[in-house]
Amino acid sequence: MKILVINAGSSSMKYQLIDMTDESVLAKGNCERIGIDGHFKHSTGDGRVFETDVTMNNHTEAFIQIKNALISDKYGVIKSLDEVSAVGHRIVQGGSLFSESVIVTEDVIKGIESLIPLAPLHNAAHVQGIRACLEVFGDKVPEVVVFDTAFHSTMPEKAFIYPVPYEYYEKYAVRRYGFHGTSHRYVSHRCAELMGRDLKDIKMITCHLGNGSSITAIKDGKVVDTSMGLTPLDGIMMGTRTGSLDPSVVTFIAEQEHLTAEQMDTMLNKKSGFLGISGVSSDDRDVTAAAEAGNARAKLAIDILEYDILKYIGSYTAVLGGVDAIVFTAGIGENQCSHRSSVCHALEFMGVKIDDELNEKMIRGNEGKISAPDSKVDVYVIPTNEELVIARDTMALVTK
Ligand code: ADP
């Protein structure tokens, strides 16, 4: 069975075609700058690459590029679209409506649309992706939606209700939802597998550290708390996002600078974090290089990131009543061994002991344990694979 995984953004559409017999990636790519001008990149599992500038006015036109590449003589991996058994879509916001993956129906699309106020850019784009897929494939090919928020739906009220007047929760569903759930789900299950234990018996903290970052506490196989909130702005400092702040910082700066809510939103989401502190870049590699070259603000940005990670691991250890395993994943978590080293050495007081050599080797897609045999807490680096989770959920639902 071959499954097409789609991640539709407002101006981009990423895809992977996965062969579920061995879970290999047959082809993957990205349609960028949809509705602006358009750039399309497609590569195959056996190393063929096709890249071109091509106008894509909307998601349907992007989908046609994907379809043509998948079946093309030179760059294709299938003979016809009939070989695609199902399509799985990544959806950012499932709200309180969706606590697990489901097959797309008109009601499901309406449900995702009803959540657009909570995730205006993302959910609107996802619906465009689903509709584009329906136009190109027709309704013969089942579609499944997999939600970033779903894994976090087990959080208790005390973790997800904000201490603002309760009526805002009732009126607008303002609460913590959490994101990157598909990634936290993948790495937590994979970690349990590597430990040879049942996830239900492991107190685990998973750190997804990328451009966007979130940390999750898992107990009895369920999420009990996570750092992102109503939106992906909350929690630890990120590439261009602030993470948690004293809320008065927002109103104070808005008043001083005469900024509208929209301008504040841009400042908090796009101009802060690594970029805002260092003034160098939102990318960890650039900021680390600048810090090593003596840039004090770049060094400060790195210090803040490591401090934030440390604080979350410390507080979630208390929430869990101890911790058996810590997992690092995503671009920074999988590659920046210096941050893992700083954080883990600071956790020695609670029995975390990493093997520095192993830590340095665990980069660029390597998976494994970086803690020493006598560490009280197992520490793992696990490359995430959200597309595979989406493909697995899709297969499970369409073959039910
Ligand atoms: P996104 O949240 O957009 O999926 P990623 O998970 O790819 O982002 O993470 C991007 C971050 O990971 C960047 O800050 C980048 O510097 C860092 N990163 C990615 N690859 C590497 C690498 N090979 N070495 C060091 N850092 C990396």
Work out the angle between the directed axes of helices 261-270 and 247-257 (0-180°, nearest 10): 120
**Residue-wise pLDDT tens digits, 316-349:** 999 999 999 999 999 999 999 999 999 999 999 9
Per-residue confidence (pLDDT) for residue 332, from 0 to 100: 97
Distance from Cα 285 to the centre of ligand 1, integer Å: 8
Tell which atom from ligand 1 comes closest to the C-alpha of 211. 2
pLDDT at residue 144, rounded to an integer = 98
How far, in Å, from the CA of 214 to the mean position of ligand 1?
14
How far does residue 383's CA lie from ligand 1's centre (Å)? 11
Nearest residue by C-alpha to atom 12 in ligand 1? 331
Contact 216, 178 (CB under 8 A): yes
Q: Which atom of ligand 1 lies closest to the CA of 364?
A: 23
The reported pLDDT for the residue numbered 10 is 87
Q: 18 vs 103, 247, 330, CA distance in Å?
A: 18, 43, 20
CA of 274 to the centre of ligand 1 (A): 13
Please name which of 376, 18, 81, 388 lies closest in space to residue 203, comparing C-alpha atoms: 376
Which structure tokens are listed for 119? 């995730």
Pocket perturbation via mutation, ligand 1, pick of 184, 211, 328, 361 by most ligand atoms within 8 A of CB: 211
By alpha-carbon position, which residue is closest to atom 16 of ligand 1?
Answer: 284
Give the integer Cα–Cα distance in Å for 280 and 288: 10
Q: Tokens at residue 274, please? A: 């690594």
Q: Which numeric CATH code is attached to 198-386? A: 3.30.420.40
pLDDT of residue 321: 98
Nearest-atom index, ligand 1, CA of 210: 9
Q: Which atom of ligand 1 is nearest to the CA of 287?
A: 16
CA of 210 to the centre of ligand 1 (A): 5
By most ligand atoms within 8 Å of CB, the mutation choice from 209, 336, 359 for ligand 1 is 336
CA 388 to chain centre: 13
- Binding pocket residue ranges, ligand 1, CB within 6 Å: 210-212, 239, 283-285, 330-332, 335-336, 364
**What integer pLDDT is reported at residue 121 of this predicted model?**
84
For 2-147, which CATH superfamily applies?
A: ATPase, nucleotide binding domain (3.30.420.40)
Predicted confidence at residue 212, as pLDDT, reads 95
Q: Known catalytic residue: 283?
A: no
Beta bridge partners of 205: 217, 326
What's the N-to-C CA distance of the chain in angstroms?
A: 14
Q: For a pocket test of ligand 1, which of 285, 341, 361, 384 has the largest count of ligand atoms closer than 8 A to its C-beta?
A: 285
Q: Does 2-147 match 198-386 in CATH topology?
A: yes
| Matching residue, tokens 């671009």 | 331
Q: Name the amino acid, one letter, at 182.
A: T
Ranges of each domain in the chain? 2-147, 198-386
Ligand 1 pocket: which of 92, 270, 284, 337 to mutate (most atoms <8 Å of CB)?
Answer: 284
Q: How far apart are CA 151 and CA 44, in angstroms?
A: 31
User: Which of the residues 37, 82, 148, 324 is marked catalytic?
Assistant: 148
How many angstroms separate the CA atoms of 90 and 60, rounded?
17
- CB-based burial of residue 110 (10 Å sphere; 0-12 exposed, 13-18 middle, 19+ buried)? exposed
Rounded CA gap, 192 and 208, in Å?
16
Q: What angle do CA 367, 338, 352 make, to 5 degrees?
A: 70
**What is the position in ligand 1's atom list of the atom closest to the CA of 283?**
14
Using 70 as the pLDDT threshold, list the residues of the chain that sit under it.
none
Q: Distance, CA 272 to ligand 1 centroid (Å)? A: 17
pLDDT of 21:
98
Span from the CA of 246 to the centroid of ligand 1 (angstroms): 27
* Protein residue closest via CA to atom 22 of ligand 1: 335
